[in-house]
Amino acid sequence: MSLSDVEVMEVLALVMTETLAVGSEVIEYLGEHCAIDMAEHWEADEAFLGVLRDREVMLALLAETGGSAVASANASEKGATIKGLIADHLTGANDRPKCERWVPRWMAFPPRAYSERGGVPMVAAARRAKWMIGEEKAAADDEEAALIRHQAAQSDDLAVKGAVAAQQDDPQGAALAA
């Protein structure tokens, strides 16, 4: 009761954002629509570098943070060396030029992938969001739209299966949640 209305609204905004699903259509639409600059809210840390496994992606990250010449010169290095170079460029350590305000492509609005292989949930969610609000070009994107509809249907199927499983585990709780 001692919080001001402004403080309550700040807490409410934080609680609301914590409930939004990362990589969902809503987040991707709002991020782009509100012109969110993730560099103001995120920076790479040791945990980020720890989960990098894909060589092609690591070299692309090194090219973005240290330049294409650095990436080319270190293309045959081990993953740990490449990660170390990325970290050096992000922090300015070991006399490397510091790369300021960098975020991976998949965290930007709109998100992009580093390879043609796909598999980036944020990119797929952004495409689904555009399709859902009618921003996709219908004629040029018929095949992609079909894929997006299929992915959306799969997401819906998973949500239904999860709700059924939750109801089987706790019928009263599931009924209250609905």
At 45-94, the pLDDT tens digits run 999 999 999 999 999 999 999 999 999 999 999 999 999 999 999 999 99
DSSP assignment of 121-146 equals: HHHHHHHHHHHHTT-S-TTTTHHHHH
Query: With contact defined as beta carbons under 8 Å apart, do 148 and 127 qualify?
Result: yes
**101-142 confidence digits (pLDDT tens):** 999 999 999 999 998 887 888 898 898 888 888 865 543 455
Instruction: Round to whole Å and give the CA distance between 156 and 30.
Output: 20
pLDDT surpasses 80 at 145: no
Query: How would you classify residue 57: left for phi > 0, otherwise alpha for psi between -120 and 50, otherwise beta?
Result: alpha
- Locate the domains of the chain by residue range: 43-102
pTM above 0.75?
Answer: no
DSSP reduced 3-state for 3: coil
